[in-house]
Structure formats: C-alpha cells, structure tokens
C-alpha cells in the first residue's frame, strides 16, 4: 500500500564533483563522453530526450563509468509539443542548453541533447562551460549569438581534432550537429584510435 521507487545505488561522485579538481586529460574526457553518448543514444532509441544533460546529472561509479541521471525534464520524442515549454518557458540549466532550448522553443529533439553532450565535453576539456555570464540574460545572448572561446586558448594540449568534434556538437543550428549520439561516440572512438 506504499508507493516507492527502487533504483540502483551508484557509489561514487558526480562528474561536477570530479571537475572541481580541474579539467580532465583529453583521453579520459573522451572515454567519459563516449559512455555518455552511448547512454543518450539508448535513451533516444527508446524515444526519450533528456533536456538537462550536464556534469551534475552524471554519476561516476567506482570504476569511473558514467551514469546519466535526473530525467526530470525528459520528454518523449513522440509528443507533438513539449508541454512544459509550450508557453515559451525555458527549462533546463542555461550553461548546457542549446540555442533552440534557450529561446523556449518547442522544437527540442535529439540534436538538443547532442549540444549538451558537447557542452559537457567542452567543460571536461577546458575546466569551464562553453559560456559563462553574470546573468541568465547575458548567458542566453552568448548561447544564441556567440561562438564559445576555443578550448586551445586555455589548454593548448587539447588536440585540434578533439576541439573540432566538440565544436560540431556546439553548432548553433541543430542540423549542423552530429545526426545522433552514436555518430558522436564513433567519432570520439576514431579520435582515441588516432584515425
């Protein structure tokens, strides 16, 4: 007679907590992002978009494997309109949301999660999100109208190829991003294999 949820317990820390010690080595950042992209691809194949992917919504287990959590803003892809944003209300964490979500658009899909994966990868490599500002309005303006600073300006050891992969995820137009999270994971795998 009592409602309850049964969930796996992940002993470890969030990715945001891991980032408190600074950016990750490129290979470690890539391996984590491949795990995240694989998880997001699975969600998309089940017809679900996350809409709030960010380091604090990723748990790292004791083997440093990432687990995507907090599907509180998730929506089914089959919904014709995103009810929670139909009035133009912006939901999610501004620093990781794509331009289409930052404007309160109802046209949110898998490409939106690809952008958030790119924003997370950017932070793993640079030690900070792609955009930062003192107000949500300024942050929104940057997301809509500016390109993120090149990662290599702050971390010259980040390879150009990896910066390019990250930049493709962060494209302003959804159609210029990876077509799905599986393609992102494949490209990251090619980077690791020096292909």
Please list the active-site residues: 52
Residues counted in the chain:
195
CA 3 to chain centre: 32
Nearest to 114 by CA among 64, 65, 192, 50: 50
């Amino acid at each position: 007679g009592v409602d309850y949820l049964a969930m796996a317990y992940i002993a470890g820390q969030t990715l945001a907590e891991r980032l408190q010690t600074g950016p990750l080595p490129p290979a470690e950042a890539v391996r984590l992002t491949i795990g995240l992209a694989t998880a997001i691809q699975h969600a998309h194949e089940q017809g679900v978009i996350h809409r709030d992917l960010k380091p604090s919504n990723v748990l790292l287990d004791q083997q440093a494997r990432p687990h995507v959590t907090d599907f509180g803003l998730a929506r089914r892809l089959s919904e014709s309109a995103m009810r929670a944003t139909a009035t133009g209300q912006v939901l999610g964490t501004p620093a990781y949301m794509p331009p289409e979500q930052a404007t309160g658009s109802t046209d949110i899909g898998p490409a939106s999660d690809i952008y958030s994966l790119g924003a997370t990868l950017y932070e793993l490599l640079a030690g900070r999100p792609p955009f930062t500002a003192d107000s949500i309005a300024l942050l929104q303006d940057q997301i809509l109208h500016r390109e993120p600073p090149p990662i290599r300006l702050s971390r010259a050891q980040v390879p150009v190829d990896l910066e390019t992969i990250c930049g493709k995820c962060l494209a302003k137009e959804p159609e210029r991003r990876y077509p799905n999270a599986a393609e992102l994971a494949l490209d990251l795998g090619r980077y690791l294999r020096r292909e």
